Amino acid sequence: MRKYLIVLMVSLMFVVGGKREVLGVVEPVASESAVEATMAATIEPTATVVPVKENITEPGEKNVSYRLESVLDSQEVGKWNGLNSLKWLVRLAVSRGVAANTIVLLLLLPMVATIVSVLHYVFGVTGYGIFTPTMVAITFLATGIFGGLALFAMILGISIVANMFLKKLKLHFWPARSMGLVFISIGAFLLMILSSYFELINLSKVSIFPVLLMILLAEDFVRTQLVKSKSEAKKLTIGTLILSMVGALGMSVRVVQESVILHPEIVIVAVLVINLWVGSYSGIRLTEIGRFKEAVRVKNKKQDSRFRIQDKK
């Protein structure tokens, strides 16, 4: 009996050992490619970084503030000597919590107004004064030129349609404009929702101030149309948009922004000198050359004939 038990135990030991050997042969060994594929699958994919468009008109825009503050830190001002007073004031304002992009905008405003005055008196581009194109240029800087034009077109279209409808009610001017503002507000709200699907004219994060400035421009168009004529309103509105786009393009250049905050005294002096020259400009505007071409020719002919008479004498 003992012999049978010993034989049974020995045979069980061989069977168990054989199973282990078979399992060791049958189990597949993971190859290097399989291990690499497993490791690649476990690694989380890195998120693609989408560049964010800078908005210098927002005081809380950290990207613009950090960029401008780093530019300030890279410049050595030196000791105060009177000529660098503005540089010291800029750094004092930044140290006291004033946003660097706000300082840049304040310094850019007179420069944009100077551009508007040069385009008006030298080139003959006419708009609604000097402050309206400057403010609309800030709006274009916040919304982008395409977004600003779309916003203005929407507001102007709603204003015109609302006026045509409200004229039939024969209301006073202010109540009619107040009712028109209801339609403008709803249209601006719908445009913000619609523009969020498009990257080129995304107005979903625009503050209320660009919308208000565009409403004021549309109001100027309607008032001019009522007081003067449609052609005059179109002329002034198109001129205002052209002046504003030129100003917005100038303010959006990074080199201009950094130069303004690094050398504010040069900007102030340049603005004063240019305006002194434009203020005493007495020449003909470039857009009026075709208008007064015949008068210039007649005057030149008279001068030539006068010189000929003097030569004969």
Straight-line distance from the first to the last Cα atom of the chain, in angstroms, rounded to the nearest whole number: 162
| Cα–Cα distance for residue pair 211/19, rounded to 1 Å | 81
The first and second tokens of residue 261, run together, are 């905050």
Under 8 Å CB-to-CB from 281, ≥6 apart: which residues?
121, 122
Q: What is the pLDDT of residue 24?
A: 42
How many other CB atoms are there within 10 angstroms of residue 288's CB atom?
A: 11
Q: What is the pLDDT of residue 306?
A: 58
DSSP 271: H
Q: What is the pLDDT of residue 162?
A: 84
Q: What is the pLDDT of residue 270?
A: 92
Q: Which CA distances in Å does 259 have to 24, 262, 264, 313?
A: 75, 5, 8, 61
In the chain (313 residues long), the average pLDDT of successive 10-residue segments reads: 48 47 42 46 42 61 74 81 85 86 88 90 87 88 85 86 84 83 85 77 73 84 82 88 90 88 90 92 77 61 56 54
| Cα–Cα distance for residue pair 29/97, rounded to 1 Å | 64
Q: What is the pTM of this model?
A: 0.69
